[in-house]
Structure 1
Amino acid sequence: MNDFSDDLYLFDEKKIKKAVRRGKMKTIIITIFVSLVVFVILNIANLAISSHFSQKAFNQWDAYVRLSTPNGYISETVDSRGVLGGISNYEISKDFKIKSVVIEQKQYSFGLIPSVLTSRSSGGNVGITGEDWQFSYKENGWREMLFFHPNVPYKQYKDDEQLINGMQGDKVYEVALSFDQPYKPNELFIQLPEMTWFWIDTYSSEQLNKFQKEAKENDWSSTFIREKDALGFSINTPYISLHDLDSEYEQFLDLLQMSISPDHQNAFNKMKDIKLEDVEILGVVVYGTKDELKEILENPIIKASSLGGVIENY
């Protein structure tokens, strides 16, 4: 009887150990399965969240570029994604109407946990002695254009007409033109052809007072409005009328509201109730060869001219 009980005990112990092993294996399998499911779900969620913020950041930065880079736009982006965010490397191009040219490469971060951006640079400034204009250069070597507000009495104005006339070859030049006074759209079309981008008066009275103070107190070589601070919009037709500008102006307001820059948000608040016919245009950007620009640069409404990009005419 005892031997039978001992055998039964041993048999039960083996069954228990086997059941335990099966339980452990089942637990491991369930754990692995749950972990895989959670991993997949988290990756899908991370991808969805990152994609959402990536698209939102692109819209904001593309709006910023289109507003502050005459005829500029983001032509390509490459995202490097991490946890709930990442970094986007992007190219800025300019539409010269006959072709587009990449001018700069930059980065921005995006997401709930945006990546930290670090940058290093070296080099010098142009015109730091006060003997020349203190302009900056883009990454592709083009000069950033200078603008001059017609309601600011500057000590000196940029005039690149002789520089352009001295250029060799049949090239196409990008030139920023600042006017002698603000013009309404219907006034401007009568006087100047070949316009590709309009510089709009979005400045507050505080900003204008700042420009006037700087022009009075600072050296002439540093008193102007840099390209990135001159807000405007492009046009896509050579035949311009108020009707042609309606959609571009509405898009301009949308971009101001969408842009990553708080200054652009402030500009939207100033411009949102202003109709197109009441908009004040302070300057334009034109493209053309030397011969095409000659008559434009001699127009009496032009107060200043600043050369930007130069491309081959093909």
Structure 2
Amino acid sequence: MNEENEFLPKDPDFRKLVKKAKRNSVLRIVIISLIISIIVVTATYFIGNSIMINKVNEEVRNDAIWHNIHGANIEEQGTSINYSLFSAISKTEFVKKVNGIPVPWVPVEKVYSIFGQSKIIISEGASGTGNVDQKRIPMYFNGERVIEFIHPNVNSSLFDDRSIVSKMDDDKVVELALSFDKGYKVTDVQKIFNKNISWFWVNTYSESDIKNYNNFIKETGKDFTIIGDDAIGFHYINQPESKWGAEYFIRNLKELKRNSSYKDVADKIIQNITHNNKEKLSAENLEIIGVVITGTPSEIRKFNNVPFVRAASLGVTVDRY
């Protein structure tokens, strides 16, 4: 046996075979490892990409439903999405339609992560400048006025921008937000403003909200208004069977309540509308506390003497042609 052990290592051909076998074995291991790595990376990419796409698509869909009821006279125009392996960035465009003329409004960009919740990274908000002692500082976005509302039960100083509209010529079309002295039925409001209505403002505020707003006025000496971008309501639809869009508003709220990301806010809105479930959630029970109307100055002037209008706020003004 000793002679054989001494003989084997000294055999040149055998050494070559051993070295070749080792090289082949190492090469085989490298190739197999490379193939497995490619398969794992590819599978991870496709699985991660699939999860990311499904997550983003669901959020974009839910955001679209939310945008149907959030923001006065603001319409979502669509969302573009850029994907990477474990994240994505979306940009949603919005417009205001003033007598049918689209005006670009505040865009929103969000970042999504497969490992966490989405976050808004860019939202160019409205801004205003003025003296700190002023009770009301008009807000602007892209050079256009931002509409404001006053709740019927908020003791804020009143303003009436209809006087500004009255001085305009009919080569313009304007957006005007009207705040009411109390809540009214959808059908009653529609009969008065008819097709000049663009959007209905719904009373979705609790007694606690109103108390906080009035306390703010007392403590600061400043007025409290709700800018149109933060208001809740629905677009006017020329369909009597849908109660001029109110039925779609109810449907959207119910859909949002079933969704995790908007469930809490939708539930709070429903509780406030129904007075903590004392009333049925229906189009007939909605309290309309304001509207957005659009048209030429002469069309808007028709509503100068509506008795239950408490305040009027000028918004977007564009050329008619």
Alignment-derived partner of residue 45 in structure 1? 47
CA drift of 1:230 comes to 1.9
**Structure 1 residues 168, 292: CA separation in 2 closer, same or farther (over 3 Å shift)?**
closer
SS at match of 1:191: helix
**Structure 1 residues 121, 266: CA separation in 2 closer, same or farther (over 3 Å shift)?**
closer
Name the amino acid aligned to 2:54: H
Alignment-derived partner of residue 296 in structure 1? 303
Answer whether contact 2:152 2:179 (CA < 8 A) is retained: yes
CA drift of 1:283 comes to 0.4
Between the aligned partners of 2:8 and 2:58, the Cα distance in structure 1 is 74
Alignment-derived partner of residue 144 in structure 1? 146
CA drift of 1:198 comes to 0.7
SS at match of 1:134: coil
Alignment-derived partner of residue 253 in structure 1? 253
Two-structure CA RMSD over aligned residues (Å): 3.1
Superposition TM-score, scaled by structure 1 size? 0.84
**Structure 1 residues 125, 96: CA separation in 2 closer, same or farther (over 3 Å shift)?**
closer
Q: Which deviates more, 268-277 or 181-190?
A: 268-277
Residue number among 52, 56, 59 corresponding to 1:57 in the alignment: 59
Indicate whether 1:10 and 2:17 are aligned.
no
**Structure 1 residues 251, 170: CA separation in 2 closer, same or farther (over 3 Å shift)?**
farther
SS at match of 2:107: strand
CA drift of 1:277 comes to 0.7
Alignment-derived partner of residue 274 in structure 1? 281
Between the aligned partners of 1:122 and 1:286, the Cα distance in structure 2 is 22
Between the aligned partners of 1:263 and 1:54, the Cα distance in structure 2 is 20
Q: Which deviates more, 77-86 or 195-204?
A: 77-86
Alignment-derived partner of residue 284 in structure 1? 291
Identity of aligned residues (%): 24
Alignment-derived partner of residue 133 in structure 1? 136
Between the aligned partners of 1:67 and 1:242, the Cα distance in structure 2 is 15
Q: What's the CA shift string for 1:41-99, capped at 9, x where partnerless? A: 11111211211221233234334433332232332333343443233233222233523
**Structure 1 residues 265, 122: CA separation in 2 closer, same or farther (over 3 Å shift)?**
closer
CA drift of 1:117 comes to 6.6
CA drift of 1:243 comes to 4.0
Q: What's the CA shift string for 1:113-158, capped at 9, x where partnerless? A: 35877679999742343336223222x222221101112233x212
Alignment-derived partner of residue 212 in structure 1? 214
CA drift of 1:267 comes to 0.9
Name the amino acid aligned to 1:81: Y
5 Å-filtered alignment, 1:51-90, equals: 51-90=53-92
SS at match of 1:297: coil
Between the aligned partners of 1:75 and 1:118, the Cα distance in structure 2 is 19
Between the aligned partners of 1:42 and 1:53, the Cα distance in structure 2 is 16
5 Å-filtered alignment, 1:161-310, equals: 161-168=162-169, 170-193=171-194, 194-220=196-222, 222-237=223-238, 240=240, 243-254=243-254, 256-257=256-257, 258=259, 260=262, 262-271=264-273, 273-310=280-317
**Structure 1 residues 255, 292: CA separation in 2 closer, same or farther (over 3 Å shift)?**
farther
Between the aligned partners of 1:123 and 1:233, the Cα distance in structure 2 is 21
Name the amino acid aligned to 1:268: I
Between the aligned partners of 2:199 and 2:123, the Cα distance in structure 1 is 33
Answer whether contact 1:232 1:252 (CA < 8 A) is retained: no
**Structure 1 residues 177, 102: CA separation in 2 closer, same or farther (over 3 Å shift)?**
same
Between the aligned partners of 2:167 and 2:135, the Cα distance in structure 1 is 18
**Structure 1 residues 303, 117: CA separation in 2 closer, same or farther (over 3 Å shift)?**
closer
Superposition TM-score, scaled by structure 2 size? 0.83
